[in-house]
């Protein structure tokens, strides 16, 4: 049984998870209002994993992630305004509109890359870890990727090398395919993985591998703390499979806020949880789950929760304004930065 | 025999697939989300329902392994149609394509063959960013042993697709995603186009435009702008880069004495250079001006709409370059 995190830590993580959630809701709003076009992927449902994992990294540590990266970038401390502006292709964006949603990134925060070709998080991550190891300062790399990254050959090769060379890489596999599971096969989608247990893949290469509930901040926190300590002490990589249930809004080809704008009254009991997403609200939404838990801590918790939500919403309103007011980049700048 | 009908580009390709799959049980479709999902651009819709899971097959996100398997299956009697969802992911299959598929016939002294179709996308304009907007037809055309088709209309798509599936060599078909909704007449009957026959899209006396893929559409729009100025352009769509119909292009240039080659991919070491050089070699004495070239910028494709515009030609820039070639 995982030890429960102290209350102040829980509040800190909750504040970040709320911001991550409100950020994604803003992304959808901006798209629906035609402030940008193009496809995008949302991190809704995985906030507990990203917040509790990335909160434990130090400034010197590095990260790679995939196309589902908004949550990681916000959790690492990117300003929501420039992050949103990047997704909208604006001059005020983190990369001046050159990368967009799939490549939302900020090298100043230790992001090496966010890539839509998902195995790259592991291969480039192994390179990041190799560089960390050469520093001999105990710093680590965290590679965030989904279950689908393990369908790509480059992942296998990079896992093998990481283990051979004892690279300090935390392999954070966010398995968000819970609804696609075939329970009779040990919980994996039979269409794309022959392995009955993803842990067996790094396991076969001698990489310690554990599975946790990715919606429980304590479990994520404990697992990542162990993995980081393992890496910092020079023992090589560690693999964590954080399980989350597939958020319904990711099911259509184009994402939609199918579960609505998150209503914390569903945590306080002041709003009903019904309809086709009842189970999501009650059991799977990590933000509502942590809110319910915090509400039990003290009579003042409710006011504190609403205060944090007002703060997150106000930050996102400012971020939306920043992004909308930010001009499109000057066309000629497209020719810059091909080379040094 | 059916009457000519209007279909979209996507429907025309699907019609070719349905016809060829009904005619030959060896034709199988393999790719990501091609089966029950019907393709992320609905480009394989309905195939799974008719032909089932044995012939319309989803793969994991495992392009090199799955494509290598398709090459082996083609060498073993099947006629796989393998889909690479985005042209950008061609990078993942290059080893199996270049070192295996393209070499088999040659290395076996013509005794083995790889009858497969590799279908992928090309072109920018959908705000998909640097890893989902690339066009690798020139890269593939540089590899001896691969045929390259780039249909620009629904009718050409159907005819080239049917020819590609029946061809005994690996044929790569590049499709601009933004053409999938284009409508056009489809000839009646068993419409099969030979690989290696260009199409004169528009006749004109003043300059020959050789345009690739969606650039044909932009060249037609430019032709309208220029016609108002009294400039009559001839537009040629090569339709296949390999084999390349040199004769149609050279005959045209000998009539117009001027040429502009247009492609949407980055200009450096691309197809415009190859075609311009061919014209210079074979029609030098007929040219009244240097052969013009217009292509995409030598940059990765940026995400932002305002930046993306600069990365490839459009009707306006084509018209500007035609005026420059006319001097």
* pLDDT at res. B277: 98
Strand duo B147-149 + B240-242: pairing: antiparallel
How many structural domains does chain B have? 2
Q: Is residue B249 assigned to a domain?
A: yes
Q: How many other C-beta atoms can be found within 10 angstroms of the C-beta atom of residue B230? A: 7
B168 and B286: one domain? no
**Could you write out the DSSP letters of every residue in A230-272?**
HHHTT---EEEEEE-PPPGGGSSSS---TT-S--THHHHTSS-
Q: How many other C-beta atoms can be found within 10 angstroms of the C-beta atom of residue A192? A: 18
B171 and B204: one domain? no
pTM, to two decimals: 0.91
C-alpha distance from residue A126 to each of A121, A129, A136, B252 (Å): 8, 5, 15, 55
B232 and B206: one domain? yes
B169 and B22: one domain? yes
Burial B65-78 (b: 16+ CB within 10 A, else e): bbbbbbbbbbbeeb
Which residues of B are identified as catalytic? 63, 132
B318 CA to chain A: closest CA distance, Å?
Answer: 18
Residues whose CB is less than 8 angstroms from the CB of residue A180 and which lie 6 or more positions away in sequence, other chains included: A189, A191, A246
pLDDT at A196 over 90: no
B299/A338 Cβ within 8 A: yes
Q: How confident is the model at residue B3 (pLDDT cuts 50, 70, 90)?
A: low
Contact, B271 vs B265, CB < 8 A? Answer: yes
Contact, B257 vs B288, CB < 8 A? Answer: yes
Chain A residue at shortest CA distance from B89 = A117
Q: How many other C-beta atoms can be found within 10 angstroms of the C-beta atom of residue A340? A: 3
pLDDT in tens, A249-271: 988 878 999 999 999 999 999 99
Instruction: Give the integer Cα–Cα distance in Å for A72 and A95.
Output: 16
Strand order, beta sheet including B233-237 = B199-202, B233-237, B207-211, B259-266, B292-296
B152 and B256: one domain? no
From chain B, pick out residues whose CB is under 8 angstroms from the CB of A191: 58, 60
B305/A328 Cβ within 8 A: yes
pLDDT at B276 over 70: yes
B182 and B203: one domain? no
pLDDT at A184 over 50: no
Which residue is it, tokens 């396991």?
A: A203
From B186, B219, B248, the end of a domain falls on B186
Q: Is residue B296 assigned to a domain?
A: yes
Which SS3 state, helix, strand or coil, does residue A111 take? strand
Instruction: Give the integer Cα–Cα distance in Å for B149 and B119.
Output: 10
pLDDT at A190 over 70: no
What are A89's two structure tokens?
């292709």
* pLDDT at res. A138: 94
Interface test with A, best of B87, B298, B302 (most A CBs within 10 A): B302
B60/A151 Cβ within 8 A: yes
Chain A residue at shortest CA distance from B311 = A334
* pLDDT at res. A186: 44
Instruction: Give the integer Cα–Cα distance in Å for B212 and A137.
Output: 54
Q: In terms of C-beta density within 10 A (0-12 exposed, 13-18 middle, 19 or more buried), how is residue A231 classed?
A: buried
A80 CA to chain B: closest CA distance, Å?
Answer: 18
B283 and B175: one domain? no
Q: How many other C-beta atoms can be found within 10 angstroms of the C-beta atom of residue A57? A: 21
pLDDT in tens, A91-104: 999 999 999 999 99
- Three-class SS string for chain B? CCCCEEEEHHHHHHHHHHHHHHHCCCEEEEECCCCCCCCCCCCCCCHHHHHCCCCEEECCCCHHHHHHHHHHHHHCCCEEEEEECCHHHHHHHHHHHHHHHCCHHHHCCCCCCCCCEEEEEECCCCCCCCCCCCCCHHHHHCCCCCEEECCCCHHHHHHHHHHHHHCCCCEEEEEEHHHCCCEEEECCCCCCCCCCCCEEEECCCCEEEEECCCHHHHHHHHHHHHHCCCCCEEEEECCEEECCCHHHHHHHHHHHCCEEEEEEEECCCCHHHHHHHHHHHHHHHHCCCCCEEEEECCCCCCCCHHHHHHHCCCHHHHHHHHHHHHC
Instruction: Give the integer Cα–Cα distance in Å for A55 and A339.
Output: 34
What are A's interface residues with B at a Cβ cutoff of 8 A? Answer: 36-39, 89-90, 93, 96-103, 115-119, 148, 151-153, 191-193, 253, 328-335, 338
pLDDT in tens, A161-181: 999 999 999 999 999 886 654
A97/B304 Cβ within 8 A: yes
What are B's interface residues with A at a Cβ cutoff of 8 A? Answer: 40, 58, 60-65, 88-89, 92, 126-132, 297-300, 302-311
B232 and B152: one domain? no
Instruction: Give the integer Cα–Cα distance in Å for A204 and A8.
Output: 39
- Mean pLDDT, chain A, rounded, equals 93
B28 and B124: one domain? yes
A334/B307 Cβ within 8 A: yes
From chain B, pick out residues whose CB is under 8 angstroms from the CB of A38: 126-129, 303
Supply the CATH number for residue B94's domain: 3.40.50.970
pLDDT in tens, A70-124: 999 999 999 999 999 999 999 999 999 999 999 999 999 999 989 889 999 999 9
Contact, A264 vs A292, CB < 8 A? Answer: no
pLDDT in tens, B202-243: 999 999 999 999 999 999 999 999 999 999 999 999 999 999
Q: Is residue B317 assigned to a domain?
A: yes
pLDDT in tens, A26-52: 999 999 999 998 889 999 999 999 999
From chain B, pick out residues whose CB is under 8 angstroms from the CB of A326: none
* pLDDT at res. A182: 47
Supply the CATH number for residue B267's domain: 3.40.50.920
Of B64, B65, B309, the CB nearest to A331: B309
Please name each of the domains of chain A with its CATH number: 7-182+196-249+265-322 (3.40.50.970)
Portion of chain B with pLDDT greater than 70, in percent: 99
B222 and B177: one domain? no
Contact, B156 vs B252, CB < 8 A? Answer: no
* pLDDT at res. A1: 60
Q: How confident is the model at residue A185 (pLDDT cuts 50, 70, 90)?
A: very low
Instruction: Give the integer Cα–Cα distance in Å for B307 and A333.
Output: 7
Q: Which of B179, B184, B187, B181 is nearest to B211 (CA)?
A: B179
Which residue is it, tokens 């067996």?
A: A200
A89/B60 Cβ within 8 A: no
* pLDDT at res. A187: 46
Of A119, A191, A334, the CB nearest to B302: A334
- Mean pLDDT, chain B, rounded, equals 96
What are A95's two structure tokens?
């990369």
Contact, B104 vs B157, CB < 8 A? Answer: no
Q: Which helix (H) or strand (E) holds A193?
A: none
Instruction: Give the integer Cα–Cα distance in Å for A54 and A250.
Output: 23
pLDDT in tens, B26-85: 999 999 999 999 998 899 999 999 999 999 999 999 999 999 999 999 999 999 999 999
B242 and B291: one domain? yes
From B142, B160, B186, the end of a domain falls on B186
pLDDT at B21 over 90: yes
pLDDT at A2 over 90: no
Q: Which helix (H) or strand (E) holds A6?
A: none
B11 and B117: one domain? yes
Residues whose CB is less than 8 angstroms from the CB of residue A65 and which lie 6 or more positions away in sequence, other chains included: A72, A73, A105, A111, A113, A114, A121, A143, A144, A145
Q: Is residue B194 assigned to a domain?
A: no
Considering Cα of B252, then B254, then B259, then B263, what sign does the dihedral take? positive
Q: Is residue B135 assigned to a domain?
A: yes
Q: Is residue B191 assigned to a domain?
A: no
* pLDDT at res. A246: 82
Q: How many other C-beta atoms can be found within 10 angstroms of the C-beta atom of residue A238? A: 24
pLDDT in tens, B90-125: 999 999 999 999 999 998 899 999 999 999 999 988
Residues whose CB is less than 8 angstroms from the CB of residue B241 and which lie 6 or more positions away in sequence, other chains included: B137, B138, B141, B148, B149, B150, B212, B271
From chain A, pick out residues whose CB is under 8 angstroms from the CB of B128: 38-39, 102
From chain B, pick out residues whose CB is under 8 angstroms from the CB of A117: 88-89, 92, 131
Q: Is residue B30 assigned to a domain?
A: yes
From chain B, pick out residues whose CB is under 8 angstroms from the CB of A323: none
Instruction: Count Cα atoms within 13 angstroms, Cβ side, for B174.
Output: 31
From B165, B186, B207, the end of a domain falls on B186
Instruction: Give the integer Cα–Cα distance in Å for A281 and A248.
Output: 11
Interface test with B, best of A31, A34, A38, A156 (most B CBs within 10 A): A38
Q: Is residue B19 assigned to a domain?
A: yes
Angle between helix axes A286-295 and A301-325 (nearest 10 degrees) is 150
Residue range(s) defining the domain that contains residue B207: 199-326
């Amino acid at each position: 049984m995982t030890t429960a995190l102290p209350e102040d830590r829980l509040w800190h993580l909750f504040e970040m998870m709320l911001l991550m959630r409100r950020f994604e809701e803003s992304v959808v709003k901006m798209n629906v209002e035609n402030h940008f076009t193009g496809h995008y992927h949302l991190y809704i449902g995985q906030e507990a994993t990203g917040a509790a994992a990335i909160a434990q990294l130090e400034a010197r540590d590095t990260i790679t992630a995939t196309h589902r990266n908004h949550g990681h970038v916000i959790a690492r401390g990117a300003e929501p305004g420039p992050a949103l502006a990047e997704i909208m292709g604006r001059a005020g964006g983190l990369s001046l509109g050159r990368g967009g949603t799939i490549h939302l990134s900020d090298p100043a925060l230790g992001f090496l890359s966010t890539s839509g070709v998902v195995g790259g998080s592991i291969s480039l991550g192994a390179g990041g870890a190799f560089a960390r190891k050469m520093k001999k300062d105990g710093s680590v790399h965290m590679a965030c990727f989904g279950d689908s990254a393990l369908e790509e050959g480059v992942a296998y090769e990079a896992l093998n090398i990481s283990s051979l060379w004892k690279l300090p890489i935390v392999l954070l596999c966010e398995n968000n395919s819970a609804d696609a599971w075939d329970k009779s096969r040990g919980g994996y989608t039979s269409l794309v993985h022959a392995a009955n247990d993803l842990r067996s893949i790094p396991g076969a290469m001698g990489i310690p591998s554990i599975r946790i509930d990715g919606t429980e901040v304590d479990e994520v926190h404990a697992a990542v703390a162990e993995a980081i300590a393992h890496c910092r002490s020079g023992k090589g990589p560690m693999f964590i499979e954080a399980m989350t249930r597939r958020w319904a809004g990711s099911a259509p080809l184009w994402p939609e806020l199918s579960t609505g704008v998150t209503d914390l009254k569903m945590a306080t009991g002041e709003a009903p949880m019904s309809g086709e997403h009842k189970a999501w609200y009650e059991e799977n939404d990590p933000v509502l789950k942590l809110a319910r838990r915090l509400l039990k801590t003290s009579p003042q918790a409710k006011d504190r929760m609403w205060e944090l939500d007002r703060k997150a919403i106000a930050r996102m309103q400012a971020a939306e304004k920043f992004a909308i007011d930010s001009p499109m980049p000057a066309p000629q700048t497209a020719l810059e930065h091909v080379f040094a | 025999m059916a009457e000519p009908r209007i279909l979209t580009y996507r429907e025309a390709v699907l019609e070719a697939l349905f016809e060829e799959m009904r005619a030959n049980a060896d034709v199988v479709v393999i790719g990501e989300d091609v089966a029950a999902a019907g393709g992320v651009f609905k480009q394989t819709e309905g195939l799974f329902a008719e032909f089932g899971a044995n012939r319309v097959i989803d793969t994991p996100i495992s392009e090199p392994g799955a494509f290598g398997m398709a090459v082996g299956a083609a060498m073993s009697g099947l006629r796989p149609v393998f889909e690479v969802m985005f042209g950008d992911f061609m990078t993942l299959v290059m080893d199996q394509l270049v070192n295996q598929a393209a070499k088999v016939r040659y290395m076996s002294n013509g005794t083995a063959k790889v009858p497969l179709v590799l279908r992928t996308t090309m072109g920018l304009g959908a705000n998909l960013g640097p890893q989902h907007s690339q066009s690798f037809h020139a890269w593939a055309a540089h590899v001896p042993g691969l045929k390259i088709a780039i249909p620009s209309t629904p009718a050409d798509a159907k005819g080239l697709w049917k020819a590609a599936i029946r061809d005994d060599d690996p044929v790569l078909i590049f499709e601009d995603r933004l053409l999938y909704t284009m409508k056009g007449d489809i000839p009646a009957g068993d419409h099969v186009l030979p690989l290696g026959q260009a199409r004169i899209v528009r006749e004109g006396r003043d300059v020959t435009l050789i345009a690739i893929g969606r650039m044909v559409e932009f060249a037609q729009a430019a032709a309208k702008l220029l016609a108002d100025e009294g400039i009559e352009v001839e537009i040629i769509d090569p339709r296949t880069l390999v084999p390349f119909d040199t004769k149609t292009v050279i005959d045209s240039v000998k009539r117009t004495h001027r040429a502009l080659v247009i492609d949407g991919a980055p200009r450096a070491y691309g197809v415009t250079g190859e075609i311009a050089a061919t014209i210079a070699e074979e029609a030098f004495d007929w040219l009244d001006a240097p052969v013009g070239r217009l292509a995409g910028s030598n940059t990765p494709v940026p995400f932002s709409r305002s930046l993306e515009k600069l990365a490839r030609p459009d009707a306006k820039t084509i018209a500007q370059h035609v005026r420059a070639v006319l001097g």
